[in-house]
Amino acid sequence: MRIDLLLDALASAEVEIQLEGDQLRVRAPAGRLSAGLRAELAARKGEVIAHLRGRGAVNHAASEMEQADRAPSWSGDEAQAGDPDDPLAPFPLTPIQQAYWVGRSALEAEGRVSTYGYFEIDLDALDVGRLRAALARLVARHPMLRAVVDADGEQRVVARPPPPAVPLLDLVDRTPDDRAAALAALRDEMSHQILPAETGPLYDVRVARIGPERHRLFIGVDLLTVDVSSGMILADEWVALYADPERALPTIGLTFRDYVLAERRSKADVTAAAAWWA
C-alpha cells in the first residue's frame, strides 16, 4: 500500500501523527487504532517519517481536518460504501472484481464464465489431516479466503465459515482404467466449475489417493477474491504451515478491505477537490 493511502487510512480512523525529530508520536481515541494499522505503521515507520518530512507535514490528521473547513468532505455515498470500523461490513468491489463478477453472473447459464485457476499436483506420503489443518489456519489468517460477494455486488468477509473441506477420494483399489476414469471425471468437474460467490468458499481443494504412498492434490480457486500474486503468497504459507504446524507467520498489517476503502476515499477526495477548485 502506498504511504499516502496508509496516512489516509490513519486519518479516517482519527489517528493523529506528530513528527518530533526522528520519532513519531501517535495519538488516537480508544479503540480507533486497529491491530492491523498499528502493525503496518510500526513496520513502515521510517517510510512514514521520510514522507512526512518530504511534505513538510508535522501532523497529517490535523492538516486533513483544516482542509475540510475549506473544501468538500467525503460524500455521504462514499461514506456508506463501507464501515471502516467493522471488518465484517460490506465493501465495494474493485473495477477488475466487478468485471469478473459480471462475467460469472450472466442471466443465461450458458453465458456464465468464471476467472478461475486450476492445478493438479502429485505428492508422496501426503498427510491429508495435516494438509487440512494447515488450510484451516490459512483461511483463518487471510480474510479474503473467507470473502463472499452478495447479490447486490458488494463483498464482505465471513467471520467464522465452516472448516475447510478437503475430501479424500481413495482410488488405490481401483483398476488402472477405473482409476483413470475417476481422475478424469474429477478433473472435468473441478476445472470448469463456477464456485458460489454468495455463499463461498471461493476455493475448492480435494485429494485423490492414487497409490499406497501417492496422492494427487486438486486445487481450484476463483480469482474474484485471490489474484495471482496473492496466490503465490498463499501457496508459500500453506507449504510452511504444513511443514511446521506450530510455525508463527508474520503479522498481517492492512487488509485488502482497508486498501479498498482507503483508495476509494482518496479518489473521492481528489474528485471533491477538483470540483471545489473548478
pLDDT of res. 57 = 34
Answer whether CATH 3.30.559.10 is correct for domain 91-243. yes
- Residues 138-180: pLDDT tens digits? 999 999 999 999 999 999 999 999 999 999 999 999 999 999 9
pLDDT at 99: 93
Q: What is the pLDDT of residues 224-259, one digit of tens each?
A: 999 999 999 999 999 999 999 999 999 998 899 999
Nearest partner of 201 among 164, 242, 231, 168, judged by Cα:
164
Strand 154-157 to strand 214-222: parallel, antiparallel, or no bridges (unpaired)?
A: unpaired
What is the pLDDT at residue 63?
Answer: 39
HEC sequence for the chain:
CCHHHHHHHHHHCCCEEEEECCEEEEECCCCCCCHHHHHHHHHCHHHHHHHHHHHCCCEHHHHHHHHHCCCCCCCHHHHCCCCCCCCCCCEECCHHHHHHHHHHCCCCHHHCCCCEEEEEEEEECCCHHHHHHHHHHHHHHCHHHHEEECCCCEEEECCCCCCCCCCEEECCCCCHHHHHHHHHHHHHHHHCCCCCCCCCCCEEEEEEEEECCEEEEEEEEECCCCCHHHHHHHHHHHHHHHHCCCCCCCCCCCCHHHHHHHHHHHHHHHHHHHHHHC
| pLDDT by position in tens, the chain (length 278) | 566 667 767 776 777 887 777 677 788 777 677 777 777 777 777 777 777 766 543 333 333 333 333 333 333 333 344 566 789 999 999 999 999 999 887 655 565 778 999 999 999 989 999 999 999 999 999 999 999 999 999 999 999 999 999 999 999 999 999 999 999 999 999 998 999 999 999 999 999 999 999 999 999 999 999 999 999 999 999 999 999 999 999 999 889 999 999 988 876 665 655 565 55
Residues spanned by CATH 3.30.559.10 within the chain?
91-243
